[in-house]
Amino acid sequence: MYVAINTMALESCVVGKSNLYRRSDVDRVDGTLKPVDPMDVDPARKFGFPSFARFLAEDNMIASALWHELDVRHDLSTDVAHNVVGNMTLADYFWRRVRWIRVRKYMVLSATIMEPFTESIVFATLASLSVNYLFGIPKVLFVLTHFVLWFMLDLDVYASLSGKHKPISIDHYFVAAWLIRELLCLPIFFYAIFGSTVVWRGRSYRILRNGEAALAM
């Protein structure tokens, strides 16, 4: 989804903590998402990293600022960026997903709206109905084939990101985690999309419509 949105130049859509920015470019943006005119700059306007402290997802906002204010685009590297999140319970995973969906809906609305359509269950439902109507392919057969291929693709991605040279074995832990993730994606999305309060490092914040975060009262 992220690659497609960036390739089609619909909107800035990046994964946080895995980006490289030129400091000279960051020093020219401020998160207003308004094009910068070097000949008409307000002296009171603050630029650079300090101006992004008001955002919870400052890395994503920097990417949006570069996109809209300087009219530059993102490119995907072949390097793998690992993000260590430590031990995470199912509840931790749930609230982490809720937090970032609520943040993204005010920062990258187009990507957030499209997100459910990239999930395996939604895709399987729509595609099975389509191919059955167009080609008469049985819906059950298509759905079963779809989920097997989807699972194998996710397993291949996991193996590639793990950095291990030997094939990744399919164990019951991976299968269980994969099933839980796929089954929870839509309930988490709909729960998150209708709220605006998140918990970050033990404190509650309210996400404002401009993407900024304010302490919840």
Q: Is the pLDDT of residue 1 over 70?
A: no
C-alpha to C-alpha distances, 203 to 56, 196, 197, nearest whole angstrom: 12, 14, 10
Looking only at the bridges linking them, the beta strands covering 197-200 and 203-207 are: antiparallel
Q: 104 and 164 in one domain?
A: yes
Which of 60, 84, 108 delimits the end of a domain? 84
Higher pLDDT, residue 213 or 142 = 142
Mean per-residue pLDDT for 142-164? 89
Q: Supply the mean pLDDT for the chain.
A: 87
User: In which element (H, E) is residue 204 found?
Assistant: strand 203-207
Mean per-residue pLDDT for 43-52? 86
Q: 212 and 131 in one domain?
A: yes
Q: 175 and 140 in one domain?
A: yes
pLDDT at 117: 92
Choosing from 59, 71, 75, 154, the catalytic residue is: 59
Which structural domain, as residue segments, surrounds residue 35? 1-84
Per-residue pLDDT band for 166 (boundaries 50, 70, 90) equals low
Q: Is the pLDDT of residue 164 over 70?
A: no
Mean per-residue pLDDT for 86-102? 92
Number of domains in the chain: 2
Task: Decide if 79 is catalytic.
Answer: no
pLDDT at 159: 82
Q: 139 and 74 in one domain?
A: no
